[in-house]
Amino acid sequence: MHWPVLSHGRSNVKDFVEQIQKRRTFAIISHPDAGKTTLTEKLLLYGGAIQQAGIVKGKKGARAAVSDWMEIEKQRGISVTSSVLQFEYDGYCINILDTPGHQDFSEDTYRTLMAADSAVMVIDAAKGVEAQTKKLFKVCTMRGIPIFTFINKMDREARNPFDLLEEIEQVLGIETYPMNWPIGSGKDFKGVYDRNAKEILAFQNVGKVGTQQAQKIEAHLGDENLDQLLTKPLHDTLKDDIELLDGAAYEFDKDKVDHGKLTPVFFGSALTNFGVEPFLADFLRLSMPPLPRTSDRGEIDPCSEDFSAFVFKIQANMNKAHRDRIAFMRICSGRFERGMDVYHVQGGKKIKLSQSTQLMASERETVDEAFAGDIIGIFDPGVFSIGDTITTAKVPFAYAGIPTFAPEHFARISQVDTMKRKQFVKGMEQIAQEGAIQIFKELGGGMEEVIVGVVGVLQFEVLEYRLKNEYNVDIRRNDLSYSYIRWIENEDLDPKTLNLTSDTRRVEDFKGRRLLLFTSPWNIDWALEHNEGLRLSEVGR
């Protein structure tokens, strides 16, 4: 470990290391409606970051959603963008990264997960593993980070807990370890049994508000007094369940947790604020502080004296009044200080980080100081791209880039009013730089007509909406029948010389990389068979 030489003299080395060790940066994922927003809100309440429940999201129009910036999200009740919230709790500094629940935005989720050290998966106890849970979970496992599971809505009729665990194991392919065990559900929900402390956390429906702690009762399973507390049938079931779990379930293995091979499972009810605090306490105990990250110069220690960060998200026009562009960065090492000079590795230039913001709800606060593990938003005059590294290291290095997902839907986009060409080009380029869409053009062509590729079709709607609202441009969209994209890896090859089926299209992206668009996997095979030495890649690097 490098000990930082801190020139400013305010903090000492111990403080610096403590600051980093106390950071926990995680993303919450869930199928829409499983209770991600509600859980986030309760966590914020504990941290004192908000005083009132219901402030994070009022889907039915009562209050604007603080983690939803875009109008379209409010209209549809889905979360398109990811926001970042920070608060302190019990000596920890917690950064929560919210992720879009809709599968069409799973690429955004993937980028957000690049910035997270662990993930919390929220599951609706009545529904179990849902379609989007599967997709988002897959994205999580690509990162190999620890995953914690919160099975929510136990105050409603729930599925059998054994079935839920089995489903998680079968469908998601991860071992489970229940940290607590539910006693009944719905009207009969009595609380949860903490397997480690061997005590019962008694459920009382206190409604939506408050952070009061649930009553803890020391529980010796089999004691007669538990018959009264739980009713005899529920007490008997609990006894049998715990016996079964202790005998048959997976052992708790911290190493497996650290590598995302085993998920600690918690049962609770976010809405009634039940089980949230013990969840948070265990999560903080079991999750890890920022760990070293791989760069092209080897692993970079978070406690290194050199500051470094990478861009995982760019968002323009978050606030119409500001008309600005923010590059969200995850700090991977050292300490950030407002106004510091850093080297932008991909741009090959020194820059000053003067306008930095951190987001708490809809409020933006200027950040003067931040540490490895934190997320900062830097005003971006258009210099950053997703995956870029900035650092103060004397010998600069770059963190591994964030691969782009292969788009699966394509459309030809042109502007309705040709007089608005400038705005159209600017809007398309900016939205593409954010990584929300990918844009392609004919080989050697211009911007008259652009082919747009997206991972999920909803992104077309977001594009249309944003061009109209932010750039005042109406567009025409013609869907194309391509579904597969491959980047040509052979650098010296002229795509025009390739022997291809008539429905395969040659295009280039805005970095000048050449690609092929295919309508079927059969056509990809055909291209490879008829062009010796042709190398195609599914990801654009």
The single-letter code of the amino acid at 296 is: D
CB 144 within 8 A of CB 257: no
**Per-residue burial over 162-199, b = 16 or more CB atoms within 10 Å of its CB, e = otherwise:** eebbebbbeebebbbbbbbbbbbbeeebbbbbbbeeeb
User: Least distance to ligand G4P from the beta carbon of 279, Å?
Assistant: 12
Residue 488 CA to residue 280 CA, distance in Å, equals: 47
Site for ligand G4P in 217-236 (CB under 6 A): none
N residues, the chain:
541
Positive or negative: CA dihedral 101, 106, 111, 116: positive
Q: Binding string, 402-421, against ligand G4P, x = CB under 6 A?
A: --------------------
Residue (28 or 345) nearer to ligand G4P, CB: 28
Among 2, 13, 15, 59, binds ligand G4P (CB under 6 A): 59
Q: Binding string, 6-35, against ligand G4P, x = CB under 6 A?
A: ------------------------x-xxxx
Confirm or deny that 354 is annotated as ligand binding: no
CB 199 within 8 A of CB 218: yes
Written as one string, the DSSP assignment of 27-95 is EEEESTTSSHHHHHHHHHHHTTS-SSTT-S--TTSSS--SS--SHHHHHHT---S--EEEEEETTEEEE
Q: Which of 501, 316, 531, 341 is nearest to 426 (CA)?
A: 316
The single-letter code of the amino acid at 297 is: R
Can you read off the two tokens belonging to residue 477? 């969209």
The helix-helix angle for 276-286 and 36-46 (nearest 10°) equals 80
Site for ligand G4P in 250-279 (CB under 6 A): 269-272
User: Least distance to ligand G4P from the beta carbon of 264, Å?
Assistant: 19
User: Least distance to ligand G4P from the beta carbon of 185, Å?
Assistant: 11
Number of H helices and E strands in the chain, helices first, is 13, 31
Residue (181 or 440) nearer to ligand G4P, CB: 181
User: Least distance to ligand G4P from the beta carbon of 62, Å?
Assistant: 8
Residue (14 or 60) nearer to ligand G4P, CB: 60
CB 456 within 8 A of CB 105: yes
C-alpha of 247 from chain center: 36
Written as one string, the DSSP assignment of 205-240 is ---S---PPPEEEE--TT-HHHHHHH-HHHHHHHHH
- SS3 state of residue 174: coil
135 binds ligand G4P (CB under 6 A): no
CB 58 within 8 A of CB 64: yes
Among 23, 57, 409, 420, binds ligand G4P (CB under 6 A): 57
156 binds ligand G4P (CB under 6 A): yes
Confirm or deny that 185 is annotated as ligand binding: no
CB 348 within 8 A of CB 401: no
Site for ligand G4P in 478-517 (CB under 6 A): none
Site for ligand G4P in 61-120 (CB under 6 A): 101
Confirm or deny that 99 is annotated as ligand binding: yes
Q: Which of 166, 188, 197 is nearest to 235 (CA)?
A: 188
153 binds ligand G4P (CB under 6 A): yes
User: Least distance to ligand G4P from the beta carbon of 155, Å?
Assistant: 5
Residue (172 or 463) nearer to ligand G4P, CB: 172
Residue (30 or 415) nearer to ligand G4P, CB: 30
Among 17, 24, 29, 36, binds ligand G4P (CB under 6 A): 36
Among the residue ranges 152-160, 476-484, 497-505, 506-514, the one whose residues contact ligand G4P (CB under 6 A): 152-160
Confirm or deny that 155 is annotated as ligand binding: yes
155 binds ligand G4P (CB under 6 A): yes
CB 87 within 8 A of CB 114: no
The single-letter code of the amino acid at 214 is: A
Among 21, 38, 308, 523, binds ligand G4P (CB under 6 A): 38
Residue (60 or 394) nearer to ligand G4P, CB: 60
Residue 28 CA to residue 30 CA, distance in Å, equals: 7
User: Least distance to ligand G4P from the beta carbon of 60, Å?
Assistant: 6
434 binds ligand G4P (CB under 6 A): no
Among 103, 152, 389, 430, binds ligand G4P (CB under 6 A): 152
User: Least distance to ligand G4P from the beta carbon of 328, Å?
Assistant: 20
Residue (47 or 275) nearer to ligand G4P, CB: 275
Confirm or deny that 102 is annotated as ligand binding: yes
Residue 260 CA to residue 146 CA, distance in Å, equals: 4
Among 19, 21, 25, 37, binds ligand G4P (CB under 6 A): 37
Among the residue ranges 57-65, 379-387, 476-484, 487-495, the one whose residues contact ligand G4P (CB under 6 A): 57-65
Annotated binding site: which residue ranges?
30-37, 98-102, 152-155
**Residue numbers at the binding site for ligand G4P (CB under 6 A):** 30, 32-38, 57, 59-60, 101, 152-153, 155-156, 269-272
Residue set of the binding site for GTP: 30-37, 98-102, 152-155
